[in-house]
Amino acid sequence: MKHLASIATAAALLAPTFARAGDPATIIETPEQQKERMAWWHEAKFGMFIHWGIYSVVGGQYKGKELPNSAEWMMCRGKIPIAEYSKYAEQFNPTKFDADNFVKMAKDAGMKYMVITAKHHDGFAMFDSCWGEYDVVDATPFGRDIMKELSRACYEQGLRFGFYYSQAQDWHHPGGFGNNWDKSLKKVSSDVYANEKVIPEVEQLLTEYGPISILWWDTPRNMSPEAFAGIYSLKSLQPGIITNDRLGKDIPGDHKTFERHIPDRGPVDKAWEVCMPISGSWGYKKIDTDFKSTTTLIRNLADIASKGGNYLLNVSPTGEGVILPQAQERLKQIGEWMRVNSDSIYGTTGSPFKKLDFGRCTKKQYAKGTTLYFHVFDWPADGKLVIPGLKNEIKQAYLLDGWKPLETTQDETGTTITVPKDAPDAINSVITVQVAGKLEVEQSGIVQNQDGSVDLPAADAYIHNNEGSQDAALQDRGDEPDNIGKWTDKEATVEWDFKLTQPGTFDVIANIALEDDSALTFTVNGETVKTKVKATGGYGSYTEQTLGSFSTTAEGNYNIRLKPDAKNWKPVNVRGLKLITK
């Protein structure tokens, strides 16, 4: 359905009245206010992502052939002309779709919010778009507004609802990014695209679809400051809406987005979410049987919560409107686990322990104490669960399943909880421990050698790779030492925590291999040192190079972070750092 009025309002009124994204004028709330706005999201921890579009009709197959990669990318991967691809709409008739049922499935799994593709890169609107007729209501035999049905069902069942909207790529609009295969497309600027499609469509989504809690942008591209400002400003139409960090490079959004991959550690001082398909593909793909096990999914949820993040788990409805039985079964099993253990997920914050051999920890802090939830993946065969480094006195400990009290002993070597012989849950048994007073956990971690030096090997590094890409990842080299490699991303950083008992001045020595001269920085104690590294003759030729030095005067916990010096950065492989006293 085309509404001309809407186009005029959005383009003419909204765009010019807002400051450019990133301008101080756009910072309209304090960090505390932002925290308050996001309180429900932090509490929620777990949401359902849905990728659904006209690609779902063919399940990744084109002209009898399998296209590689995720099914929603098929138009691009198959270089399918618009005229041909748009015909899938004529076959899109998901008569088995039942919005109430989708929402119930999410709710029964313990999910608290739903985010669905209103428009993916293919440009097809899964709602009655005001931009034209390329949408589910006008172009398909189904003729129903799927977004409206889901929004209403979420509202009725008390689930938060949000839209995924691909704001930059559009393989159907002449001003969208991405389509370089269909020569019939007479290209126009992305400003035209933003003004005539993105802004009106998103305005419509934020005004005609009830309360919208999330706008989930994807694949940022360079658009004009005016286009960014116009799109960014739309969020004022839904007070309290939460947006991710994928609108544009300099527009931070409310939370960072990791795709398909769980970071070693969450970003500091920034909300974050991991999105991941339950199988291999985001959109429904016939041959995709790569479903993650229920064990993996439940442990992922605990892992992410233990690092302070949210989990947005994707399912892929078919062209008939059905969520596959494999996905349904897993959601049901997660729900069964959540019915017993959700106290250990909802409203929790990250673990105070860096690493626990047996599993993960989440916590809730109160004025006079803390509740710790130990997620035990590997149940102790000897009936003794050892908690390293916990200094607080334990008030009580019990199995979350059935509240069975457990005995604990505490001495200098640590805290031990006596547990039943058999794990109550083969995947993740939760033990709740209440402690009083300010939480005190002594970290075992990297400590100084006798001679005062400190070894920081690749395997002990925390790697922060942008959006969970495989850039800057730990490479397992078998008999050779592991290294951090494929570090092509200038935004990726690598850090180590260590403890100094003998402070002093240290040289920072990198064990490093690189093809071209490169430049990076290291930061210790808030002080950053810029440094250059020399080509070593190849990515397999390691040498030791001194990056610089730093001084400390106090004993205690420290952290060193390596970061590309963006201007002169060339990829490096790093086996680790060594700190040597001067």
**Closest distance between ligand H79 and the C-beta of residue 49, in Å?**
7
**Closest distance between ligand H79 and the C-beta of residue 73, in Å?**
4
Asked if residue 122 binds ligand H79 (CB under 6 A), the reply is no
Q: What x-and-dash track marks residues 251-270 binding ligand H79 by CB under 6 A?
A: --------x-----------
Structure tokens at 511: 């064990």
Where does this chain touch ligand H79 (CB under 6 A) — which range of 67-75, 330-338, 347-355, 430-438? Answer: 67-75
Asked if residue 397 binds ligand H79 (CB under 6 A), the reply is no
Where does this chain touch ligand H79 (CB under 6 A) — which range of 69-77, 177-185, 318-326, 441-449? Answer: 69-77
| CA dist., res. 369 & res. 544, Å (int) | 47
Q: What are residue 49's DSSP bridge partners?
A: 115, 314
Asked if residue 219 binds ligand H79 (CB under 6 A), the reply is yes
433, 362 Cβ separation under 8 angstroms: no
**Closest distance between ligand H79 and the C-beta of residue 401, in Å?**
34
Residue type, 461: A
Where does this chain touch ligand H79 (CB under 6 A) — which range of 4-12, 38-46, 65-73, 123-131? Answer: 65-73
Where does this chain touch ligand H79 (CB under 6 A) — which range of 64-72, 178-186, 228-236, 247-255? Answer: 64-72
| CA dist., res. 440 & res. 366, Å (int) | 14
Asked if residue 127 binds ligand H79 (CB under 6 A), the reply is no
Asked if residue 288 binds ligand H79 (CB under 6 A), the reply is no
Q: Hey, is 197 helix, strand or coil?
A: helix
Which residue is it, tokens 């078919």?
Answer: 318
Asked if residue 218 binds ligand H79 (CB under 6 A), the reply is yes
**Closest distance between ligand H79 and the C-beta of residue 273, in Å?**
11
Q: What are residue 387's DSSP bridge partners?
A: 415
Asked if residue 569 binds ligand H79 (CB under 6 A), the reply is no
**Smaller CB separation from ligand H79, 119 or 563:** 119
CB atoms within 10 A of CB 517: 12
**Closest distance between ligand H79 and the C-beta of residue 528, in Å?**
31
**Closest distance between ligand H79 and the C-beta of residue 268, in Å?**
24
Site for ligand H79 in 154-173 (CB under 6 A): none
**Closest distance between ligand H79 and the C-beta of residue 51, in Å?**
6
Residue type, 427: I
495, 562 Cβ separation under 8 angstroms: yes
**Smaller CB separation from ligand H79, 118 or 275:** 275
What angle do helix axes 146-157 and 99-108 make, rounded to 10 degrees? 40
Across the beta sheet with 310-315, the strand order is 242-243, 214-217, 160-165, 113-119, 46-50, 310-315, 271-277, 255-259
Length of the chain: 582
Q: Which 8-state DSSP code applies to residue 413? A: T
Using CB under 6 A, pick the residue from 6, 56, 70, 310 that binds ligand H79.
70
Structure tokens at 371: 């509740």
Helix (H) or strand (E) holding 355: none
Using CB under 6 A, pick the residue from 18, 41, 55, 73 that binds ligand H79.
73
Asked if residue 72 binds ligand H79 (CB under 6 A), the reply is yes
Q: Kindly give, in sequence order, each residue whose CB lies less than 8 Å from that of residue 367, ignoring residues fewer than 6 positions away.
A: none
**Closest distance between ligand H79 and the C-beta of residue 470, in Å?**
11
At residue 2, what are phi and psi to the nearest 5 degrees?
A: -105, 125
Structure tokens at 69: 């990669």
**Closest distance between ligand H79 and the C-beta of residue 499, in Å?**
39
Site for ligand H79 in 33-52 (CB under 6 A): 51
**Closest distance between ligand H79 and the C-beta of residue 124, in Å?**
13
Using CB under 6 A, pick the residue from 168, 275, 430, 579 that binds ligand H79.
275
**Smaller CB separation from ligand H79, 72 or 201:** 72
**Smaller CB separation from ligand H79, 124 or 498:** 124
Residue number of the CB closest to ligand H79 reads 69
Asked if residue 69 binds ligand H79 (CB under 6 A), the reply is yes
**Smaller CB separation from ligand H79, 72 or 489:** 72
**Closest distance between ligand H79 and the C-beta of residue 76, in Å?**
7
Total residues at interface with ligand H79 (CB under 6 A): 11
- CA 257 to chain CA mean position, Å: 4
430, 375 Cβ separation under 8 angstroms: yes
**Smaller CB separation from ligand H79, 94 or 468:** 468
Q: Hey, is 441 helix, strand or coil?
A: strand
| CA dist., res. 573 & res. 494, Å (int) | 12
At residue 395, what are phi and psi to the nearest 5 degrees?
A: -85, -45
- In 325-482 the beta strands, taken as DSSP E runs, fall at 359-365, 369-376, 384-387, 394-399, 407-411, 414-418, 429-436, 446-447, 454-457, 462-464, 473-475
Q: Which 8-state DSSP code applies to residue 541? A: -
Asked if residue 180 binds ligand H79 (CB under 6 A), the reply is no
**Smaller CB separation from ligand H79, 318 or 341:** 318
Asked if residue 282 binds ligand H79 (CB under 6 A), the reply is yes
Residues forming contacts to ligand H79 in the complex (CB under 6 A) are: 51, 69-70, 72-73, 77, 218-219, 259, 275, 282
